[in-house]
Amino acid sequence: MGKLEVSSIGLGVQNMSRTYQTTVPSRPEMHRIIRTAFDRGVTFYDAAEAYGPHEVERILGEGVAPFRDKVVIATKFGWNIDQETGARRPGLNSRPEHIKRVVEGMLKRLRTDRIDLLYQHRVDPEIPIEGVASAVKDLMAQGKVLHWGLSEMGLGTLRRAHAALPVSAVQNEYSMLWRGPEAEVLPLCQELGIGFVPWSPLGVGFLTGAIDANTRFAPGDIRGVESRFSPENLPHNLALVELVKRWAERKRATPAQIALAWLLAQKPWIVPIPGTTQMAHMLDNIGVADVRFTPAELAELNRAVRAVEVRGARLPEQVQVFSGVEAAPKKQGP
């Protein structure tokens, strides 16, 4: 992936401080999931200062402490979050001086001396991307950051960022449920030699088959505001889940493994980061290594996925989420 060598699948720890249903998972159990994932070959862990805020980075730092030097830690900056209190203020903040303060806080929370991959979580329209790259370059010169990336940026921004300081990875939503990156983002990543990390590779749980027409989301579950899961659209979109289930039976796999294997088959430099707070789900996800498609099977599955028209949009543009599923505009920005 870019200039980074990581396992073919990573672990997203986004919900380890609070689940979609706003419950608080057991901290020792989250450590156990992180460590079991490592024992099973996972070397790529994804967090962000916004998750918690701050608390997920602490959980991850505690979890990987016994083998810190054998894994790649990714985390993200870009919000107006106080580094001392974790208080959240409205809006974005990628001012160079703020980025440097954020990284100092990250290093303490993660119990490490460097961040392997530092993303700008969302593009700050007030700060030229060249200024952001310059701040990250300073941090690299100090050895505090090794690689950098962007999340949910526009094509022009990515080109400018890469020209200012080579970008190692892009993180965008991508799954059978949301295939937006295929048109332009993935081709540009291939052109520039940048790795691609799909967030929400299981469609916020949809592609596992855990959501059906009778599902009612708990208060605080961000999926309740997504029109993809509205009573009008959900029954139609379940055709995609039925497709995944049929392939799961055919390949003697689980629906989650089919969804992840499909992503892995698209490009060799795509590294999904499914998140979970359940040991069984984590073990199921990393079991995708045993699922393979022949070229003919992949072509057949791709045609079937394209034939399903997903109704409804991603999160509303005005929604900004600091934990739970990440917010993103419906279209790529400039």
**Which residues form the catalytic set?**
51
Backbone angles phi, psi at 118, to 5 degrees: -110, 115
Q: Residue 62: name the closest of 13, 122, 95, 10 by CA.
A: 13
Q: Do strands 79-81 and 44-46 pair parallel, antiparallel, or not at all (unpaired)?
A: unpaired
Q: Quick one: CA torsion of 233, 239, 240, 243, rounded to 10 degrees?
A: 170
Distance (Å, whole) CA 169 – CA 117: 8
Distance (Å, whole) CA 301 – CA 306: 9
Distance (Å, whole) CA 175 – CA 259: 7
- In the block, which residue shows the tokens 């593009």? 123
Which spans in 24-112 are helix H? 27-39, 55-64, 96-110
Grouping H, G, I as helix, E, B as strand and the rest as coil, residue 318 is coil
Instruction: Look up residue 326 and give its DSSP letter.
Output: P
